Structure 1
Amino acid sequence: MNVDDLSWQAHTLGGVSPRLVRTLLDLGQLELLIRAAQERGDWHCAEAAARELSAGGEFERALTLMDPFTDIGWRAAEWLTAEIMIQQGQGDEALAMVRPDTAELGDGHVCARYAEMAAKAGRADDAIEVLIPHLGEFWLQSHLVEVTEGQGRDDRVLDVLAQEAERMERTESAVCEQCGQSCGVARTDRWHVLLLISRVLERAGRTDEAVEILRTETASGRHHPLNFPEYYAKLLARQGLIEELGALAAREHHVFDVYAKALEDAGRAPEAEALLRERIEADDHPRDRAALMHLLVRQGRIDEAVETGRPTYDYYDCWNLLHWALDLLVTDGRPGRALELLEGLTGAWAEGHPDDVLHLRLWLLGEAGRCTEGIAEAAALHERGPGEWDTALAGLLERDGRLEESFALLRSSTHRHAAFELADMLARHGRPVEALAAIPTIAEQREAAERREAAERREREAAELGKQDDPWAGAGETSVASFT
């Protein structure tokens, strides 16, 4: 075990997957995870096991489990150790252990993590002070609000945010005086601070002020980023200001779904449905179709919801609601109807994603209990592309009760996810020790990843070389740059 391997695990979710870790915990296999952490140097197992031990009051065992990881300087283990110590009642000692040194005080990520620890230890003022120098970064502004929630320091947070908004406004004014133009980026940052101020006012019970600050900014006539009116709309909905929300939705069409949901929550569902249908008739934006689908689903009108989404099923990428519609029908106990819907697709998405259509078909055949048919189709696909369809075929064999065949297929498969699918399947069927043993070691996973990356690099280089050898390659393509 070394820091490089641990870093690789954290960034790629390598090792034992968090999903399998959660499954093993649900099966009561805490001791198995502890052993994996100790023997395999698996961070996901170690972290989950330590948290489980701590939650059960076994603080010393949790800290002992962390020791090998902290001994080699794995920072994530140091943070978790501090968190366990805080839960144990040793807040001062924990904070002393992870307090940023002079060099680290310039690192926003380190200060953000320390602020979390300080807030958990009941030191909200420490959390605020360590974040103040970094409030030029919008994500740390949000972090300040998040870590101080419920800490009784809302007035202090509001003061800090107000000062930050004033600083941004001064900066923007100075820049605009120099260049003679309005600086949209600076203004966007200031809007973000205003949203946070409103959020803190609302949680502090000062709801009238929370609404007024956004109402005033909206009335200024300035253009705003999309999330500004959306947050304002949700705030109005939470406060029951439906008429004002309706007026906002008339101006900012992308918040109409918030308005419709507020009407529904107020017992005016027929009105919400009628307005959504009017908007779809006039503009037909898929966002409105999605809002109407949600409304219909909440009323149990699944077939109408599926039909509402139908025009989007041909969309090539964004706002294609097909997968949701299929899930709705399967959840409603009608996978056969979902299969009919899939088989009837002939538009751009179906033509451009043939393998996706086949994967969905195999899934639906399994859901419909037509495993024999699905197995035959998956086996034929396997002949065409060895390895590519193994996980789908294994899933169908599992559904058909042919577990040993499914296990054997995954053990021999070249599919990159086969070992992990095998582990999940073994765990589902009460064989946790075998499940963990099926996961390749960190060294084996890293070696396989490097081989894939090398192969992909060779393919890219070959493709580039092919373009160079073909003088007509790309001749039919027009560069946007040629028009600028």
Structure 2
Amino acid sequence: MDVDDLVWQTNTRRGLSPRRVTLLLERGHLDLVAQAAVERGEWFCAEAAVEALCRSGDFERALSVMEPFAATGWRAALYAKAEILLRAGRRTEEALPLIRPDEAGGLSTGECHAVAEMLGKAGRVDEAVELLVPRLDESSSLLSVLVGITEGQGRDEWVLDLIAPRADRARRARGGEDRDHAFCGARELQARVLERAGRADEAIRILGADMPGHRFLAPTALAVYGGLLTRHGRLEDLRELIADQDPHAALGIYASALWRHGRAEEAEAVMRSAIADDDWVGYRAWLSSMFLTEGRLDDAIAVARPGFGWNDCSNLLTPLAHLLLDRLDRPEELLRLVEHPSVVPYHDHEEFQHWWRAWALARLGRVDEAIAATEADPRPWADPRIVKADLLRMVGRLDTAADELRALGTIRAREELCEILILQGRAAEAIAVHPTVTELRAAEPKPAPRGENGYSSEPPF
């Protein structure tokens, strides 16, 4: 087992992917997943098998799955092994040496973060605090860990004493070069602790004092303050915030709060007024998404239509299609959207419209039309046979899809074939046919040479 292979898997989400591992577990193949983890060095198999085994109380077997990974010394695997030991109970002394070197000062900020979280999970909050407090000035992430592990521990007032000077330092900073990144989240954390301590009005007052006169606050500060006001029914205060902030950042927070409080007509009016005054793409995107969520496709199209031909980053067709495709699973409406006369190819990305239309047709049972739609694409974005197999799989024609992929035989085809075999109940064969991590890495395209400007002059860019 090789650390580089493990890191590559986590960075690329490749190997036996989380999606395929989930399919295997949903069909009762825990033994095969655990076996693939150990025999093939499949990290996502190991993570999923360990979680399933721990949930069932089989901690010894979970340790046996994780042990070969931990033996490499890879820190993520050591943390995972420590987590198993902690969940097993009464094995804290075995877990802590895995995550905490002899010299705590030798920990990086990220490692200190992870160790403190693990100590908190082990119930060793005092030790976690002892580790964190001397290093709180390094990063707001450590302050965030401190806030997290002390929740429900009766230490809110003590934590507030630690946060206060750092929040004040953040308030004295003024953007640009003077911004103190180590404390950039301290004000929001202060508000969070005040709220959980039952002092929500004070949290609103203190964080609200930071808002006027600072038109370009970090989005997180606006979101936290907006969330505070929304949770406590202070929508009028939230409305007043818009006057002092960049409306591109603040207006969506206010409209979302109105919508969540059952005031959808007011939210719509706010956004329509904003569009009339400043036809910014973000306002149209928010309003069209709200309409789509409410099932108002015609209204969503009408609002988004002016942006259907804009460039990639602001094209309003894309979020509507993805919402219908990924979250709402409404193929009829997706087909009506992509066949709308206002929908035109944009910036050399016609292939996405081909795929969206094919997906909608396949989901409606019109698979032959779907395949024809992909074959009509003059510049296919993937091997047409893989696309065809995916469409066949979508409508349950698994044998035909598997035959297409077997005949193709490429690395990508074998990955897709694995999923189909799982769906057919042939789990062992599915794992065997899936490319190994070594095969996947060997098949990766070599990066193209870079020009003087640092960018590649040929694909892959």
Please tell me the TM-score bracket, short chain as reference.
Answer: 0.7 to 0.9
Change (3 A) 1:272 1:76: closer
Residue identity matched to 2:67? D
Indicate yes or no: 2:297 matched with 1:283.
no
Change (3 A) 1:131 1:408: farther
Aligned-residue offset at 1:405? 2.9
Q: 1:373 aligns with which of 355, 358, 369?
A: 369
Which 5+ residue runs of structure 2 have no aligned equivalent? Answer: none
Q: 2:142 aligns with which of 140, 143, 156?
A: 140
Partner of 1:235: helix, strand, or coil?
A: helix
The aligned residue for residue 130 of structure 1 is 131
- Distance in 2 (CA, whole Å) between partners of 1:390 and 1:151 is 58
Deviates more, 1:76-85 or 1:189-198: 189-198
Change (3 A) 1:224 1:325: closer
- Distance in 1 (CA, whole Å) between partners of 2:232 and 2:363 is 43
The aligned residue for residue 231 of structure 1 is 224
Q: Deviations 1:294-314 (Å, cap 9, x if unpaired)? A: 443454433323332222222
Aligned-residue offset at 1:396? 2.1
The percentage of aligned residue pairs carrying the same residue is 40
- Distance in 2 (CA, whole Å) between partners of 1:182 and 1:335 is 46
Is this contact kept in 2: 1:188–1:224, CA < 8 A? no
The aligned residue for residue 207 of structure 2 is 214
The aligned residue for residue 383 of structure 2 is 388
The aligned residue for residue 44 of structure 1 is 44
Is this contact kept in 1: 2:310–2:346, CA < 8 A? no
Is this contact kept in 1: 2:304–2:316, CA < 8 A? yes
Is this contact kept in 2: 1:316–1:352, CA < 8 A? no
Deviates more, 1:98-107 or 1:331-340: 331-340
Q: Deviations 1:30-80 (Å, cap 9, x if unpaired)? A: 101111112112121112111211111111111122222222323222211
Number of corresponding residues = 452
Aligned-residue offset at 1:241? 0.8
The TM-score normalised by the length of structure 2 is 0.86
Residue identity matched to 2:440? Q
The aligned residue for residue 117 of structure 1 is 118
Deviates more, 1:48-57 or 1:65-74: 65-74
User: What pairs up with 1:436-475 in 2 under 5 angstroms?
Assistant: 436-449=431-444, 452-453=445-446, 456-457=447-448
Q: Deviations 1:396-439 (Å, cap 9, x if unpaired)? A: 23345543331122234376633222222222332222221221
Change (3 A) 1:350 1:212: same
Return the index of the structure with the highest Cα Rg: 1
The aligned residue for residue 108 of structure 1 is 109
Q: Higher helix share goes to which structure?
A: 1
- Distance in 2 (CA, whole Å) between partners of 1:20 and 1:444 is 18
Change (3 A) 1:115 1:59: same
Aligned-residue offset at 1:282? 1.8
Indicate yes or no: 2:191 matched with 1:195.
no
Is this contact kept in 2: 1:315–1:349, CA < 8 A? no
Q: Deviations 1:333-365 (Å, cap 9, x if unpaired)? A: 863553343234667753421222222222222
The aligned residue for residue 156 of structure 1 is 158
Q: Deviations 1:363-411 (Å, cap 9, x if unpaired)? A: 22212322112223434659x7696223211122334554333112223
Residue identity matched to 1:311? P
- Distance in 1 (CA, whole Å) between partners of 2:269 and 2:154 is 44
Indicate yes or no: 2:409 matched with 1:409.
no
Residue identity matched to 1:390? R
The aligned residue for residue 82 of structure 2 is 82
- Distance in 1 (CA, whole Å) between partners of 2:401 and 2:84 is 41
Is this contact kept in 2: 1:390–1:415, CA < 8 A? no
Residue identity matched to 1:317? D
- Distance in 1 (CA, whole Å) between partners of 2:57 and 2:414 is 34
The TM-score normalised by the length of structure 1 is 0.82
What is the aligned-residue RMSD (CA, Å)? 3.3
Deviates more, 1:118-127 or 1:26-35: 118-127
The aligned residue for residue 293 of structure 1 is 288
Q: Deviations 1:209-255 (Å, cap 9, x if unpaired)? A: 21111122224657533332332222211111111111112332122
Change (3 A) 1:5 1:274: closer
Change (3 A) 1:204 1:314: farther
The aligned residue for residue 175 of structure 1 is none
Which 5+ residue runs of structure 1 have no aligned equivalent? Answer: 173-180, 468-484
